[in-house]
Chain A
Amino acid sequence: MLFFRSEERVREWCSATGHPLRPLVRMDQLWELAHEWYSTRLQPDSRRPPPGEMREIFARLGLVGEFWNPHSDVFGGGGGARGRAR
Chain B
Amino acid sequence: MELEVRAKLAIYEHFAAVGSRPSVDDIAARVGVTVPGVREVLGRLRAQRVLVLEADGESIRMAPPFSGVPTQHRVTSAGASYFANCAWDALGIPAALGRAATVHSRCEQSLESLELAVSDRGPEGSDWLFHSVVPAAKWWDDIVFT
Contact = CB atoms under 8 A, between A and B. Distances in A.
Contacts of B134: 1
Contact of A6 (B95, B97, B127): B127
Contacts of A12: 109
Interface-centre pick from A3, A9, A31 (highest chain B CB count, 10 A):
A3
Contact of B129 (A10, A42, A72): A10
Interface string A3-45: 1111101101100100111101111111111110111011010
Nearest to A26: B129
Contacts of B9: 42, 44
- Size class of the A contact interface (CB-based, 8 Å): 35 or more
Where chain B touches its partner, the secondary structure class is: mixed
Interface string A27-68: 111111111011101101000000000100010000000111
Contacts of B116: 27
A58 B137 CA distance: 13
Interface of B: 1, 5, 9, 12-13, 16, 49, 64-65, 86-98, 105-110, 112, 114, 116, 118, 122-123, 126-141, 143, 146
Interface of A: 1-7, 9-10, 12-13, 16, 19-22, 24-35, 37-39, 41-42, 44, 54, 58, 66-73, 75, 77-80, 82-83, 85-86
